[in-house]
Structure 1
C-alpha cells in the first residue's frame, strides 16, 4: 500500500485518533535518499474529502520539500568535505618537517571546528595532548580501555556514551564521543568530545502505553489523556550529524597516513640515534683503551729513569695530572679547541708556584684542536718540569721565554728558550721525558720538533701542522691573567668525601691527610652522607663536602 492514496490504518491508530477527536487524517511523506525521514500529519475533526488536485499538490509539495532538504544537507556535507580536504593537505604537507605526533597539536582547533565538538584529545604512544574541554586522566584511561576491549571497525561514535560505558553516566564533559583509531597499537586514538546537553522533551501525553487483556489476548491501549508530559533527558550530547561523521571518516584516512609517516620518521630517527650511539660507544671504548694504554706506557717508560719509588710516583703522577688538566680544558670548551696560552700557564702554575712569572709568554691568541691538545700538554709538562729541576727555573735567576706565531700555511711555530740558568751540557743518555719532547709531536701529529742543548740554556723548536691550529680573537683590554697571591687558609676540622668509586675516594683521603686534615669520612652516596652526619651529629659549620657527582640512593 506504499503507493496508494487512500488506505486503511491500524485499528489501534484509529482508536488513538478518535481519542484525540480526529475524524480524518492526511500524511505527506518526507523522504531523504529514498528513505522516510519525517512526515506532515494533517488532521480534521470530522469527515473531510480532499480532491485529487489537492492531494497531487500536497504530494508535489512533499517532494519539493524532500529535494530542498536533501540539497541543503548535501551542501553542508560538501562544505565539511572541502574543509576536511584542505585540512588533509595541510596535515600531509606538515609531516615533511614534523618531529613526532606533537606536530598534530597546532591543528586541534581546526579539528574541533570540523567536528563541531567541545574538546579534542590525542592519546598516542602513552602521551596525551588536549584542546578545549579535558577528560580527567582516570576517565580517559577508562575510555581508552573500553575502546581497546570493544574494537569497532572504522570510527566509533555515540551521543550517549553511558549506554556503552555505564561508568560514564556522570561524565558531563564527554557525554558524546567520536573515537578515531590511529594505529594498530592499542591505546592510540584521536577522540572528539561533546559535553552533556540537558533537554526537556514534551510529549503529547504519557508515552508509556497501558496493556490490557481482552478476548484476543494482550493489546496496547491508546492513551486518552493528551496533556503535555515532560521528560528531562540527561547524559546525552547533541547527536553527531551525518556530515560531521562523514568529515571525520574522511579525515581518518588522512590521520592514518600522517601517523604512518610520523612513525616512519620516528623509526628512521630512532635508527639514526641508535647508530650514533653505537658509534659513540665504539669511539668511547677506543678512547678508553687508548687512555689506559697511554697510562700503561707512561708507567712503563717512566720506570727506567726513576731513582726511587717516591721519584717514580712523582714523575708518573705529574704526567697523568698534565693529561688531566688538558682534558679539563678541552671539556670546558665542550670538546672544542683550547687556548695555547692557558695550557702553558696552567702547567707553569701547577709546578712553579711563585716562579711562574719567570715564564715569559709572547704570541697571538691561538687555539689548539682537541686532537693535538693532550699531546702538546704532555710536551709542555716535560719542558716545565725539566726546567724546574735542571734548567733555568731551578734557581732564582733564570728565565724562560716562550714565543709562538703562525706561518703563511697556518702552522704553529713555538720556540722555548731558557737563559740565566746553570750551564747546559748535552746529556749522555736520553730519558723518557726527552723522548716525549722530541718524538711525540712528529709521531702523533705529523709535526716537527728540534732540541738544542746550548750552553746558555735549552732551546726547543716545535711546529704543529695548520690543521690543528685555530686563530682566536684577541683578548679584550684588561683581560690579562694575573696569578692569585698565595695565602694560608685554615683547613676544616672534619671533611666528608662523597665519591662512588672507592679507589678515587681513598686517593682523595690520602691527599687530604697530606694537607693535615685530622678527621676524614668517606661516603659513597648522598644517603650514606646523611646517615653519617645524623649519626655523628657533627656541627655543619665544621664540615666541608668534597665530591665528584656523588651517586644518589
Structure 2
C-alpha cells in the first residue's frame, strides 16, 4: 500500500490524516472486503493470529477465536451503506489480553486487536467510577461548573496527569476553561490556542470520531500491507489509526508522552474538547475510553440544555421588547423618540451599550455624543435590506476610525430605507489580555529536518488585543432580524397611514377652501351691487383675509409635497437684516390684529445669509402659533440678539408647558394634536415641520423651551460674514 507523504506546516492542512497507511504499534489490524475476504493487514498481525494472512482469504480461515468471528459476521449482517457501528469483545492470545473492536466503514470491515495491560476486573471498576461521574455531570446547571466537574471526574477514572476542557470560539481558537492536573505541572488554565493548532481535516475527524487515543507519543508506526494497487484504507473510525507526524511533534514539544481527546459536539459542530495528557506512555482500555465518550455526550447534551435555556430567556425578553416597541411605534407620532424611550430594552436584549437612531436626516443619540452619532450615521451604507454588522474598528471606514474612541462593534437595522431610518446599536471595545499557549508562530528548526514545525514553547505568551468588540452572538442576530422585520412592517403601516391622512387632509383642504371662496364671491357680488356703499373697507378686509388663508393652505401643501419627494424647498441666499424683517412682519401683525400686544426688542441690525421670503414664512408661522395658542390678553414677546456668531430670534407667549407626549412630535407633519384644534381649526400640523426644514436649509436650528411661564420658540442662524 502507498507510503504516507512527508508533511510539514506548509501542507499539513492538506494531509490525508484519515488514510495514514500506518497504525500505532500497541495493536494489530486486519481489514476485509464486503464479501468477507482479506484485503490487507498490519505488518505485526502475526503477533495476534500466529501467521500472516493471504490476500483474498475468507475471514473464517484466519483461525480467529469464535467471539471474534461472531462479531465479524454480525458486522457483515448489519452493514448498511457500507457502514456498521463498532462492537467489542475481550480475548486472550498467548496469555496477553486484547480488546477486539470490529466495525465497517467505506464498505470494508476493520478488525482491530488492541493490547490491554489491565484485567477486566479493573476495567469494571473504571466503569463504575465513570457511571458515578455521569450522574454528577447531569446535576450541573452552569457550563463552567459542568466543565470543572468533567475534568476532575475524567482524571479520576482514567488517571491522566493532566485533563483540560477546551471551549472553541467562533474563529475556531480554543480556550482552556477548566483543568485538573498533577501538582508539579505548569498550569494551562486560561490559555488560548490558535485555530491553526487543529487543521480543518482534523476538526472534521473530531466531529466524526469523537475519541482518539495516542498511547505512546514516541511510537514507531506499523505499516499496513496489502495489494499494491488497493485503495488506501479509510481509518476515520479506527481506534489504532496513526496520527500526523506534525501532531506528534506538537505533543513532544509540550513534553507529553500519551494523550487522549474526547470531542464535545453540540449541534453537529465541534463545541469543545476534553484533552488528556500523560507525561509518560499510557494505555486506557477501550471500555474506559467508551465511558469517557459517553461522558462527553452527556456534557454535550447538558451544554445544549443550558444554552437552550439561555436562548429561551433571551427570546422571551427580546419578544417582550419587540412587542412594547411595536405598540409604541403604532401609537406615537415620532418613531425616533419611541426607539429612544425603549432604549433600555433594546440595549439589554442585544447586550449593546449605546444607541443611535435617525430618520429624515434627524439623528438622536443615547450613550454617545452627537458628533459621533452623526459620523456613525454618515458611515452607513446607502442601501441595505438586512442588518449590517461591524465587529471591530478595522471594519469601519478609515475616516471615522479616529472618532470611535472606545466604540468598536456595530449592529445596524435599516427599518425605513425611504426615509433614511436606521436603528444602530454599538458595543464598546473589549481590551483583552490573551494568554496564548506559546507564541503562535512557526519556527524553522525541528527534529524532522529543516522545515516549518510546531512551536517549541508552550509557556504563556501574553498579547493585548485592542480595537475589537465582543462578537454579535447568533441568537442576538436572529433577534435583530426579527426586530427589523417588525420595524419595517410598522414603518410601512405608518407610511400607509400617512398617505391616508394626506388624502384626508387634501379632501379637507378642498372642503375648507369652499368657505373662503364663497366669502370672496359673495363679497365681490355685494361690492358690485353697492359700489358707493360705506362697507367697502370691511368687505375688502374680508376678501384679503380669506385670500390669505387660501394662499397659506395651498403653500403649505405644496411645500409638504416637495419635502416628501426628497426635494429641498429652494432658498436663494442674500444678505438680509433679520431685525428689519422681524420689524416689518410684527408691524403687519399689529395692523391685522390690533387687539394683541406685540412686544419687540432688538439690539440693532443682524445680517444673515437668507432667503427673505422663506425666512419671513418661518417668523409668520411662529407669530401665528403664539397668537393661536397663547393665553388671551397676554402680550407676545419677540427678542432678537446676536451672540457667538449667531443671530438668535425668540418668540414667546404666555402659556402652560407643552405636554411631553406632544413636545416629542412638535416638528412632525400631520400631528394629531394639530388636527381639528378648536383654537386653530384650519391648522394641518405642517407649519412647524416646514419651518424646521426652512431653518435647516439656512444651516440653522429651531427649538422649543418653556421658561418663566412662557412658551418660547428660538431660531438660531449664522451671521453673515463681514457684517
Q: TM-score, normalised by structure 1?
A: 0.51
Mark the CA change 1:115 to 1:205 in structure 2 (over 3 Å): closer, same or farther: same
Partner of 2:166: none
The answer (yes or no) to whether the contact 2:253–2:455 under 8 Å persists in 1 is yes
Partner of 2:283: 49
What secondary structure sits across from 1:252 in the alignment?
Answer: helix
Stretch of structure 1 that moved more, 127-136 or 250-259: 127-136
What secondary structure sits across from 1:154 in the alignment?
Answer: coil
Partner of 2:425: 192
Q: 2:439 aligns with which of 180, 190, 206?
A: 206
The correspondence of residues 314-353 of structure 1 with structure 2, limited to 5 A, is: 318-322=534-538
Listed one character per residue, the Cα deviations across residues 285-331 of structure 1 (whole Å, up to 9, x for unaligned) are 44344444444444x2x1xxxxxxxxxxxxx5x5334557999999x
The answer (yes or no) to whether the contact 1:498–1:526 under 8 Å persists in 2 is no
Say yes or no: does 1:248 pair with 2:480. Answer: yes
Partner of 2:331: 97
How far the C-alpha of 1:55 sits from its partner, in A, is: 0.9
Structure possessing the higher radius of gyration over alpha carbons: 1
Q: 1:85 aligns with which of 297, 305, 319?
A: 319
What secondary structure sits across from 2:433 in the alignment?
Answer: strand
Say yes or no: does 1:140 pair with 2:376. Answer: yes
Listed one character per residue, the Cα deviations across residues 381-418 of structure 1 (whole Å, up to 9, x for unaligned) are xxxxxxxxxxxxxxxxxxxxxxxxxxxxxxxxxxxxxx
Partner of 1:542: none
The answer (yes or no) to whether the contact 1:99–1:266 under 8 Å persists in 2 is no
How far the C-alpha of 1:21 sits from its partner, in A, is: 1.1
- The answer for unaligned runs of 5 or more in structure 1 is 303-315, 335-495, 509-524, 529-548
Q: Distance in 2 between matches of 1:173 and 1:274?
A: 50
Listed one character per residue, the Cα deviations across residues 485-518 of structure 1 (whole Å, up to 9, x for unaligned) are xxxxxxxxxxx99769xxx9xxx9xxxxxxxxxx
Partner of 2:56: none
Mark the CA change 1:39 to 1:183 in structure 2 (over 3 Å): closer, same or farther: same
The answer (yes or no) to whether the contact 2:438–2:460 under 8 Å persists in 1 is yes
The correspondence of residues 207-286 of structure 1 with structure 2, limited to 5 A, is: 207-211=440-444, 219-286=451-518
Q: 2:411 aligns with which of 165, 168, 178?
A: 178
Say yes or no: does 1:118 pair with 2:353. Answer: yes
Higher helix share: 1
Mark the CA change 1:265 to 1:75 in structure 2 (over 3 Å): closer, same or farther: same
Partner of 1:62: 296
* Aligned length in residues: 324
Partner of 1:30: 264
Q: Distance in 2 between matches of 1:497 and 1:160?
A: 52
What secondary structure sits across from 1:189 in the alignment?
Answer: strand
Q: TM-score, normalised by structure 2?
A: 0.40
Partner of 2:362: 127
The answer (yes or no) to whether the contact 1:101–1:262 under 8 Å persists in 2 is no
CA RMSD between the two structures: 4.0
Q: Distance in 2 between matches of 1:69 and 1:19?
A: 32
How far the C-alpha of 1:239 sits from its partner, in A, is: 1.7
The answer (yes or no) to whether the contact 2:523–2:543 under 8 Å persists in 1 is no
How far the C-alpha of 1:109 sits from its partner, in A, is: 1.7
Listed one character per residue, the Cα deviations across residues 118-140 of structure 1 (whole Å, up to 9, x for unaligned) are 12222223233333335624412
